[in-house]
Amino acid sequence: MSSLVCGLDVHKDSVYATVMSYGGEVVEKRKLSNDEVVGFLGRYPIDRVAMESSTSIVPVYGALRGKGYEILVSHPKKTRLVAESRIKTDRVDSWAVTELARLDALPLSYMHRHIAGEGQT
């Protein structure tokens, strides 16, 4: 199986995850507790995890970073401009973040660019 991308819609106590191939096929969608995310992602050859910036992502971000995942953190307002949806659900948000990460079109937050060392002179 080739590598996959995962988008997470993270909340205080739960996460909605979408795992997708780089060809655009959805492999699995599931609501999880925050504690289940690392184990769930460990079942797949995921090389990129994307999530929208919020205070709720901090524990999940730390746990995934500690396991060596490449994590993309998107800018919430810019992501909404790109992936505007009339139906706003965790499932739709997770899919949109996954799709944008798969296409290398996810608008990254300033903090992500700073941590990754991008945009520095």
Tens-place pLDDT, residues 101-119: 999 988 888 655 444 554 5
Q: How far apart are CA 85 and CA 112, in angstroms?
A: 24
The string of pLDDT tens digits covering residues 66-100 is 999 999 998 776 555 445 555 567 788 889 899 99
Kindly give, in sequence order, each residue whose CB lies less than 8 Å from that of residue 58, ignoring residues fewer than 6 positions away: none
CATH topology of domain 4-116: Nucleotidyltransferase; domain 5 (3.30.420)
Mean local confidence (pLDDT), 18-43: 97
pLDDT band at 120, cuts 50/70/90?
A: very low
The owner of tokens 């996954």 is 98
Note the pLDDT tens digit of each residue in 6-17.
999 999 999 999
Is this structure's pTM higher than 0.85?
no
